[in-house]
Amino acid sequence: MELGVGLGQRAVRMIEVAASCSPVREIHYTGVDLFEARAASDGPGMTLKTAHRLLKTTGARIQLLPGDPFTALSRAANGLRGTELLVISEGHDPRSLSRAWFYLPRMLDKGAQVWLEQAEGPDGSLAVRVLGGDQIAELAAAATYRPAA
C-alpha cells in the first residue's frame, strides 16, 4: 500500500520486487492519491485512469483510492486489513496524515512495515524512516477521531 502514488514509478518497482520475492502469491497494491484533485503545489502526479492503466500492466491486483490520506482511509480501512507494507510519501497535508494514523492499526498485518518518507536537511533531500510498532501505536493514539456532527 502506498499513500501518495505520484507518477507511479515507485509503485511499479514495489510490485515487481514483491512479485520476484513471492512468485506464487498474488500481489495486491492499494494506492491513495489526490489524482485529478492534485494542485500544482502537490508536485507531479497523474490521473486516476492513467495510474490504473500503468499499474495494471504489472499483473498485480490494483485498488486506487482517490483523496487525501484521512478521507480515503476513513472510507476503506476495514477492507484493507492484512496490509504488509505501507509506504507514505512526503508532501501530504499534515492534518490529513495525522488524522489518518487512527486507521492504521486495524489495517496493518502483524509484522507489517511502515516506511515514512521525510524531507531532511537544508537541501530538503528525502530520507525514509522505518516506523516500529510502538511509534505507530503512539501516532494512532494521538490521532483524534471526530465523527461528523
Q: How far is CA 106 from CA 32, 57, 72, 125, 129, in A?
A: 17, 30, 15, 32, 21
Those residues with Cβ within 8 angstroms of residue 17's Cβ, 6 or more apart along the chain or in another chain: none
In one letter, which amino acid is 92?
A: H
The segments of the chain whose pLDDT lies below 50 read none
Contact 115, 143 (CB under 8 A): no
Q: What domains are there in the chain, each with its CATH number? A: 2-142 (3.40.50.150)
Can you give the pLDDT at residue 31?
98
Please give the Cα distance from 148 to 114 (Å, whole number).
28
Please give the Cα distance from 31 to 136 (Å, whole number).
20
Can you give the pLDDT at residue 103?
96
Residue-wise pLDDT tens digits, 99-137? 999 999 999 999 999 999 998 888 889 999 999 999 999
Please give the Cα distance from 42 to 93 (Å, whole number).
9
Can you give the pLDDT at residue 123?
87
pTM, to two decimals: 0.90
Can you give the pLDDT at residue 24?
73
Question: What angle, 0 to 180 degrees and rounded to 10, lies between the N-to-C axes of helices 48-56 and 9-21?
Answer: 30
SS3 at position 20: helix
